[in-house]
Chain A
Amino acid sequence: MSSMRTPLSRVRGLGSAKKGTEHFWLQRVTALANIPLMLFLIATLVTHVGADYETMRGFIANPIVSVVFLLLICSALWHMRLGLQIVIEDYVHGEFTKLLAIVVNNFFTLIIGVSCALAVLKIALS
């Protein structure tokens, strides 16, 4: 059977959603980045659980730590946004509720991301 797709669409390989394998690929790239970044977060927790205010602030204010924290926030939140979108698409079947849930997912990620980033920047720059 001959294909109904145009040669251009076949060459682009982006499919009907025009995103191709972008979602799948970014899920893997962020997952890879998350391995060292989350180990760093766990190490921070292990060495700082119960730490007093000055110690905690001083640690995050260290430029290297601030940079790692900003990267950690970007990678982890991007990964979780992609992940929850799949969960929503799997379990939410109503077209409107699904769309709404995906939008809320994006808003939640941005709110948490901007909050975390601002906090780290404020600690690092003051």
Chain B
Amino acid sequence: MVTQSGLPKTSTRPLSPHIQIYRWTLTMMLSILHRATGVALYAGTVLLAWWLLAVATGPEAYAVVQDISGSWYGRLVLFGYTWALFHHMFGGIRHFVWDTGRGFDLKVVEILARFTTIMPLILTGLAWVLAYMYMGVL
């Protein structure tokens, strides 16, 4: 392996440390999760398209969606999808606060981080309690 400048890669220059070196912090985890949920939601649009196309196609196509989304693993995906939506939304709201130039104080950063972690969990739980109440299960 040779770098662009032609020097061998085994030179003694120090490498910058990567994530496994650092002690994990909440803010660091949230930064990673914001990206991860974003990418997951990106992939999840396939499910949105599938669901809408199934409704547009007819009862047989919709029945397949219903079977899968009604199974335990289907529900698990929907639950995860709801959480990812809420999590990315709250992460985005936190970025809006930062965009105004506010909230960079360490204390505020910690409070915002906790808020961004807890609120999506509460709201996801609440959404699914309501969903099961609508279905008449609860």
A in complex with B? yes
**Chain A residues in the interface with B (C-beta under 8 A):** 28, 31-32, 34-35, 38, 41-42, 45-47, 49-50, 53, 56-57, 60, 69, 76-77, 80, 83-84, 87, 112, 115-116, 118-120, 122-123
A47–B134 contact, CB under 8 A?
yes
Q: Determine chain B's interface SS by DSSP, over half rule.
A: helix
Per DSSP, chain A at the interface is helix
CA A76 to CA B45, docked complex, whole Å:
9
Given A45-B131, A49-B69, A56-B55: A34 touches B89 (CB 8 Å cut-off): yes
- Which one of B42, B49, B58 lies within 8 Å of A83 (CB-CB)? B42
By a beta-carbon cutoff of 8 Å, the part of chain B in contact with chain A is 35, 38-39, 41-42, 45-46, 48-49, 52-53, 55-56, 58-59, 62-63, 66, 69-70, 78, 82, 85-86, 89, 92-93, 95-96, 99, 127-128, 130-131, 134-135
In the docked arrangement, what's the CA distance between A49 and B89, Å? 21
A73 to B: closest C-beta gap in Å: 8
A76 to B89, CA, bound (A): 12
**B82 partner, pick from A45, A56, A77, A119, beta carbons under 8 A:** A45
Chain B nearest CB, measured from A81 CB (Å): 9
CB pair B42–A57 under 8 Å, yes or no, is: no
Residues A77 and B127 in contact, CB atoms below 8 Å apart: no
Bound-state CA distance A34–B69 (Å) is: 24
Residues of B within 8 A of A35 (CB): 89, 92-93
